[in-house]
Homo-oligomer: A and B are copies of this chain.
């Protein structure tokens, strides 16, 4: 960002198309396992993970700063580590946008998994992630990444900069489906 009036100069940012690493991000957000305790089915398993692994990183977000105003586009790299809590695959908290009428795209650069999506009236769908797969999450759908592979799941996200994030509903409601490893196969149930 170039000034306080919300004006923005053209800029470029390098993203490694094999690993998804962003060079020189403006901001970095780290979510550790202890903040994920309310989200998994097996509360004891996530608590054990926090204790035995010294509250490890669960996922990271690398961003370029643009004004949070209409017409601008926010871009970030989301990196979700691999692993399981019991048999449930690692996932992000998930969120609605505060401005419901805003979409988001996820371009998977590395790893594999799913984008799990739900509406407030109970619909629930998921789209697979694999390198090169762009998933379009339309307006009004909450969304959560799930990593079903052995390596980090890394996606480049684009969304309207005025979208905002609403995490609160997800803690209360959860998603209608969870993704478990059943004998080596990801199963939603």
Contacts and interface: CB of A to CB of B under 8 A. Distances in A.
A50 B92 CA distance: 53
Per DSSP, chain A at the interface is: strand
Interface stretch (A9-17, A37-45, A78-86, A180-188): A9-17
Contact of A16 (B115, B117, B132, B159): B132
A64 interface: yes
Question: What is the total number of copies of this protein in its complex?
Answer: 2
Contacts of A134: 12-15, 75, 156
8 closest A-B pairs by beta carbon, nearest first, are A71-B101, A8-B138, A158-B158, A12-B127, A17-B132, A71-B102, A12-B135, A15-B132
Interface of A: 7-17, 64, 66, 70-73, 75, 99, 101-105, 107, 109, 115, 117, 125, 127-128, 131-139, 141, 156, 158-160
